[in-house]
Amino acid sequence: MAAERPKILIALRQALFDLLFAPTQQARLRGLGDVTMPAQAGDLSEAQLTALVGGHDIVITSWGSPTFSAAVLAEADRLKLIAHSAGSIKGLLPPPVFVSGRRVTHVAYSMSIPVAETTLALILLCLRRFHKIDRAFQDGGWAAARGLPPGGELAGNRVGVIGAGYTGRAVIRRLLALEAQVWLCDPYVSDESAAALGARKAPLETLMRECPIVTLQAPATTETYRMIGAEQLSWLRDGAIFINTARAHLIDEAALLAELQTGRISAALDVFDQEPLPDDSPFRGLDNLIMTPHIAAVTQQAYKRQGAITVDEVASFLSEGKLRYEVTRDMLDTMA
Question: Measuring CA to CA, which residue among 190, 243, 193 is closest to residue 215?
Answer: 243
Which of the residues 153, 205, 223, 275 is marked catalytic?
Answer: 275
Backbone angles phi, psi at 81, to 5 degrees: -145, 135
| Rounded distance between C-alpha atoms, residue 23 and residue 136, angstroms | 46
Helix pair angle (23-32, 300-320), 10° resolution:
10
| Rounded distance between C-alpha atoms, residue 227 and residue 249, angstroms | 9
| 237 assigned to active site | no
| 294 assigned to active site | yes
| Rounded distance between C-alpha atoms, residue 100 and residue 16, angstroms | 30
Backbone angles phi, psi at 303, to 5 degrees: -55, -50
Asked, as a colleague might, if the bond just before 149 is cis with ω within 30 of 0, I would say no
List Cβ neighbours of 70 (8 Å cut-off, separation of 6 or more): 96
Which of the residues 28, 158, 173, 294 is marked catalytic?
Answer: 294
| 247 assigned to active site | yes
Which of the residues 247, 259, 305, 313 is marked catalytic?
Answer: 247
| Rounded distance between C-alpha atoms, residue 101 and residue 76, angstroms | 12
Percent helix, strand, coil in the chain (nearest 5)?
Answer: 40, 15, 45
**Sign of the dihedral defined by the CA atoms of residues 192, 193, 198, 199, in that order:** negative
* Alpha helices per DSSP H over the chain: 14-20, 23-32, 46-52, 70-75, 108-128, 130-140, 142-146, 166-177, 191-197, 204-210, 230-234, 253-261, 300-320
Q: HSE of 214 in the Cβ direction (CA atoms, 13 Å)?
A: 29
Question: Measuring CA to CA, which residue among 123, 159, 134 is closest to residue 270?
Answer: 123
Just list the catalytic residues.
Answer: 247, 275, 294
